[in-house]
Amino acid sequence: MSEENTTVLQCLSLNHLFTKIRDKDTKPEDFRKYSMRLMTILTEESLAVANNSVTKKTVITPTGAKFDGIDVNTSNMVAVSIIRAGDSLLECFLNVVPEAAVGKILIQRNEETAEPILYYDKLPPLENKQIMLLDPMLATGGSAMCAIDVLINKGAEEENILFINVVCCPEGLKNMNSKFPKIKVVTACIDECLNDKSYIMPGLGDYGDRFFNSV
pTM value is 0.94
Helix runs in 23-81, H state only: 28-48
pLDDT of residue 26: 98
DSSP annotation of 197: T
Tell me how far apart the alpha carbons of residues 165 and 140 are, in angstroms, rounded to a whole number.
13
Tens of pLDDT along the chain (215 residues)?
A: 456 799 999 999 999 999 999 999 999 999 999 999 999 999 999 999 997 889 999 999 999 999 999 999 999 999 999 999 999 999 999 999 999 999 999 998 777 776 789 999 999 999 999 999 999 999 999 999 999 999 999 999 999 999 999 999 999 999 999 999 999 999 999 999 999 988 999 999 999 999 999 97
Residue 71 near residue 55 (C-beta atoms within 8 A): yes
CA 113, distance to chain mean position in Å, is 24
Of 52, 56, 14, 8, nearest to 35 by C-alpha is 14
Q: For residues 52 and 76, is the Cβ–Cβ distance under 8 A?
A: yes
Confirm if 174 and 181 have CB atoms less than 8 A apart. Answer: no
Q: Please, are residues 184 and 164 in contact by the beta-carbon 8 Å criterion?
A: no
Give the amino acid at 26: T
Alpha carbon of 49 to those of 37, 111, 116: distances in Å?
A: 20, 34, 28
Contacts of 99 (CB under 8 A, 6+ apart): 74, 75, 77
Residues recorded for the chain:
215
Rounded Cα gap, residues 144 and 82, in angstroms: 8
User: Dihedrals φ, ψ of 25, to 5°?
Assistant: -95, 0
pLDDT in tens, 144-188: 999 999 999 999 999 999 999 999 999 999 999 999 999 999 999
Helix (H, G, I), strand (E, B) or coil at 179: helix
| Catalytic residue ranges | 109, 113, 206, 209
